[in-house]
Amino acid sequence: MSNSYTFTETQTFTFTDAKYIAAKVATDLARFRRFYNSPSLELIKQYEEELTALLKADYLDNITYGFKRGEKWIEALRYHALSGGSLVGDDDPGKIRPGVDVMGAHFTSFLVLNSRWSQLSTAAQEAFEANLPFRRGGGDEPALESGYWSHGHNYASGGRSIGRSTIIR
């Protein structure tokens, strides 16, 4: 007689899980501040609050934070939602490259929402946005001044994760 066993695990993604992941991104942004004196502490707090809400609601496709000169990224971090968060590691934040010439650049971000967002009614989108710390405008995603995106870190909790890419020159 043989026995067979099945193991099933269910995880619920909570506000605490979303906050945990967003706090790692905020730590990366604080490292930018340390090296480049931007973004402000208040802006980091607002970005963290926005990202927490986007992660909890599962509306994030990707978001880029960094320095833009003209219409091109010169130094930035891109975070993209990954499926199967329990299958990836949970890295420590950091490893931000110091010494990039950001003279004449300004710190900004660019958000891309996923298809779940697109399926919401206009009223539901407006209600969600009303609870965010700031309103975003539309626009085209900036190109890179030079180099390419390279995936490096993953931040995960509660069965969801985001991957972080940096610019390699």
Pairing assessment for the beta strands 143-144 and 72-82 based on DSSP bridges: parallel
| Residue 35 belongs to a domain | yes
pLDDT of res. 94 = 80
| Residue 68 belongs to a domain | yes
* Mean pLDDT across 105-112: 97
Print the domain residue range for 121.
19-135+145-168
How many Cβ atoms from other residues are within 10 Å of residue 74's Cβ?
Answer: 22
| Contact partners, residue 30, CB within 8 Å, separation at least 6 | 41, 44
* Mean pLDDT across 2-19: 74
- Render pLDDT for 116-129 as a digit per residue (tens, 0 to 9): 999 999 999 999 99
* Mean pLDDT across 5-26: 83
| Residue 5 belongs to a domain | no
Query: Which range has the worst mean pLDDT, 4-18, 31-45, 145-159?
Result: 4-18
| Residue 2 belongs to a domain | no
How many Cβ atoms from other residues are within 10 Å of residue 125's Cβ?
Answer: 15
Question: Structural domain tally of the chain?
Answer: 1
CA pair distance 25, 83, nearest whole angstrom: 18
| Residue 111 belongs to a domain | yes
